[in-house]
Every structure is written in C-alpha cells, then in structure tokens.
C-alpha cells in the first residue's frame, strides 16, 4: 500500500480525509443535513490538516523526536500517564510555577481555543446539529443519533447557543493579558517579533471580536451588517487555520507530545541513571544518554573527546566547564567547585 502514495505525508493526509468523509457521511445522516454556510470553514480545516501533517511529519521524522515518539507510545499506559496528562494538558501546572499571571493567560487562551474547536469542528463536518421537535424543544443530534432533548429557553440550550461567545471572551481575556505582558515585560520585549509573537494574538482577537459582532448583530441590531461581518469572520478563521501549523499557535496541537517526553524521562530515570564522567553526579537516565549519542552518530556529529568520554556523558555544568577548557586551556572541568548560578531561575 505504501507504493500507492508519493510520501508518508500524502498517505496520512489521504487516510485522515477519508476518515473525515466517512464520519461526515454518517454524522449528517447520509449528507441529508449539511449547512452550506459552513462550507468555507470546512475547506479551511482541510487545508489546516494538510499543513499540520506536513509540519508534524517533518518534526516527527527527525531522529531525536522519532526516538521520543516511538518509546513514548510504548510507555503510554504507565500509571502516571493520567496525572501527567492532567498536569500538562488540562491544568498547566508547569506554567503555574512561572506565576499566576502567565498561568491564567494560558488557561484562558488554551482552553478558549480548545473548547471553540470542540464546538466548531463537529458543526462544520455535520457531526452535531439541532432539529426542532415539539414546540419549545430542540433535539441535539450527534453522529446521526438523537442524544438529548432540551428546552429552547433552558440553561442547557443557552450554553449550547453561547458556547462560542463564552470561548470568545476567554480568548480575548487571554490575548489581552499576553499582549500586555509582551509590551511591558522587558525580557519578552527583547526576544519577541511581530510575525511570530504578535500576529497570532491579533488573529485570535480578530476572530473573537468578529464572532461576538455576529451575535450582537442578531440580538441587538436586527441582523444589520450580518452578511459583511459573517464573511469577514469566516475569512479571519480560514486565514488563521492556514497559518496555524506554521506559526507559534502550532504548539497547541503539538502539546500532547509533551506527555510522551515526560513518560520517557520518568520511566528510564527509574531504571538507571547516568553518572557524569567528570563529577560522577547522576544527571540523566542511562537510556537517554545512549539515545543522544546514537542520534548524534546518525547525524554524523562526532563529540568523542580525547580524554575518552563522549560530550553527552557530561552533566551540563561540567560540559560548560569542559568547553571553556577547550578554548582557554585551563582545565576548569577538573576543578571540584559548584557553579554559583546553576540552579538560578529565569
């Protein structure tokens, strides 16, 4: 079957799009419930999938990440996977350690985007829609099956109708907090660029604001300006979907891979730790050290030193000292002294 496709990316794209087609066929009850107003979003989503597969394949085929993915998949059913998943993908505990402001900013942006995707994609592909049953009641249909009947003026229906409005306010709050930090924090100002750091935030703000304008047009203005706002909003969403795999926002769909990396470090760290060849301190798992040496060899990077050890067999402080020794001729790596700032934060 591999010979039917020009590349791995083409094969993966075909399989995913074929699965989406089948799911849409079943979810729309054999294409009897299709909202043509969402056609543009569907095209944008398909382009996003192609771009994401290209970016993910280029990343996953690199020797270092290939090792993490293969071994991480084998360790997916560790007991700690559930806790790691919650910490990394749900509550962002690792960001809380950097401060409540950045944690709140990431919670609003991350969960705002994720919840919006959970609402938008099922609607776009016809996996979920609403039908009128008795007077005053709506039937929620998911994957062609009637799953829930709600009052049209009830609180459940209110949450369904306003889910995207709620996520829009979350994204606006997170984006404003991020922009404020990027304008005021001196370290962020020194490292940032417009295209990579500011443009994604402006795109998210534009999508959220135009989405809220659609609601305001329907609720307060009798539909005034709705066609123009609708096209503008759709254009903003499509451009963002096309841009997403190639910019900073790509770390949202890439984030689950951090669970694999954490499992990899924890599992092999519990088995055997590697001792530094200079100071004898344990600094990384023996498996990870061997993988690093193997990957460097595949990339034809030779770091075998004259003293008989590989550079990857040194802990970070000793590695820095050894590199200083190679430049200055002073064997600083052999001096038994701890670095004053090796545990500094920032």
pLDDT digits (tens, 9 = 90+) for 159-206: 988 999 999 999 999 999 999 998 888 777 788 888 888 999 999 999
Q: Quick one: 285 and 140 in the same domain?
A: no
Where does the pLDDT of residue 346 fall: very low under 50, low under 70, confident under 90, or very high at 90 and above?
Answer: very low
Better pLDDT: 23 or 8: 23
pLDDT of residue 324: 83
pTM over the 0.85 mark: no
Q: Quick one: 195 and 286 in the same domain?
A: no
Where does the pLDDT of residue 139 fall: very low under 50, low under 70, confident under 90, or very high at 90 and above?
Answer: confident
pLDDT of residue 308: 84
* CATH code at position 205: 1.20.950
Tens-digit pLDDT profile for residues 64-86: 888 988 998 889 888 889 999 99
Q: Quick one: 71 and 207 in the same domain?
A: yes
In the listed set 191, 224, 258, which residue is the last one of a domain according to the structure?
258
Q: Quick one: 133 and 181 in the same domain?
A: yes
Q: Quick one: 91 and 169 in the same domain?
A: yes
Q: Is the pLDDT of residue 302 over 80?
A: no
211 lies in a domain? yes
Tens-digit pLDDT profile for residues 237-251: 999 999 988 888 888
Q: Quick one: 31 and 169 in the same domain?
A: yes
Q: What is the 3-state secondary structure (H, E, C) of the chain?
A: CHHHCCCHHHHHHHHHHHHHHHHHHHHCCCCCCCCHHHHHHHHHHHHHHHHHHHHHHHHHCCHHHHHHHHHHHHCCCCCCHHHHHHHHHHCCHHHHCCCHHHHHHHHHHHHHHHHHHHHHHHHHCCCEEEEECCCCEEEEEECCEEEEEEECCCHHHHHHHHHHHHHHHHHHHHHHHHHHHHHHCHHHHHHCCHHHHHHHHHHHHHHHHHHHHHHHHHHHCCCCCHHHHHHHHHHHHHHHHHHHHHCHHHHHHHCCHHHHHHHHHHHHHHHCEEECCCCCCEEEEHHHHHHHHHHHHHCCCCCECCCCCEHHHCCHHHHHHHHHHHHHCCCHHHCCCCCCCCCCCC
pLDDT of residue 340: 54
Domain span holding position 233: 2-258
Residue with tokens 């962002």: 92
339 lies in a domain? no
pLDDT of residue 113: 92
* Number of independent structural domains in the chain: 2
In the listed set 232, 258, 284, which residue is the last one of a domain according to the structure?
258
What does pLDDT average to over the chain?
87
């Amino acid at each position: 079957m591999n010979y039917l496709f020009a590349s791995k990316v083409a094969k993966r794209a075909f399989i995913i799009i074929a699965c989406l087609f089948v799911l849409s066929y079943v979810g729309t009850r054999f294409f009897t419930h299709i909202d043509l107003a969402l056609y543009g979003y569907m095209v944008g989503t398909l382009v996003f999938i192609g771009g994401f597969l290209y970016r993910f394949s280029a990343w996953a085929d690199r020797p270092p990440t290939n090792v993490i993915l293969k071994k991480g998949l084998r360790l997916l059913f560790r007991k700690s996977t559930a806790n790691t998943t919650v910490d990394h993908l749900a509550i962002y505990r690792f960001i809380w350690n950097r401060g409540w402001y950045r944690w709140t900013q990431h919670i609003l942006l991350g969960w705002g985007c994720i919840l919006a995707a959970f609402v938008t994609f099922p609607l776009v592909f016809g996996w979920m829609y609403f039908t009128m049953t008795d007077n005053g009641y709506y039937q929620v249909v998911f994957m062609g099956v009637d799953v829930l009947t709600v009052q049209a003026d009830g609180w459940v229906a209110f949450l369904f109708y306003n889910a995207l409005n709620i996520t829009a306010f979350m994204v606006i709050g997170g984006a404003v907090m991020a922009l404020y930090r990027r304008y005021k924090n001196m370290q962020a100002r020194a490292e940032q660029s417009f295209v990579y750091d500011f443009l994604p935030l402006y795109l998210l703000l534009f999508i959220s604001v135009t989405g809220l304008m659609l609601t305001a047009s329907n609720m307060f203005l009798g539909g005034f300006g709705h066609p123009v706002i609708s096209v503008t909003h759709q254009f903003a969403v499509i451009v963002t979907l096309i841009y997403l795999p190639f910019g900073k926002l790509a770390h949202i769909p890439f984030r689950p891979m951090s669970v694999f990396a954490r499992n990899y470090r924890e599992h092999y760290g519990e088995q055997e730790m590697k001792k530094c060849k200079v100071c004898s301190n344990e600094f990384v798992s023996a498996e990870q050290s061997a993988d690093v040496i193997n990957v460097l060899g595949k990339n034809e990077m030779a770091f075998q030193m004259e003293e008989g050890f590989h550079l990857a067999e040194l802990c970070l402080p000793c590695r820095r000292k050894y590199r200083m020794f190679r430049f200055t001729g002073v064997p600083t790596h052999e001096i038994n002294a701890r670095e004053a700032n090796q545990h500094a934060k920032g």
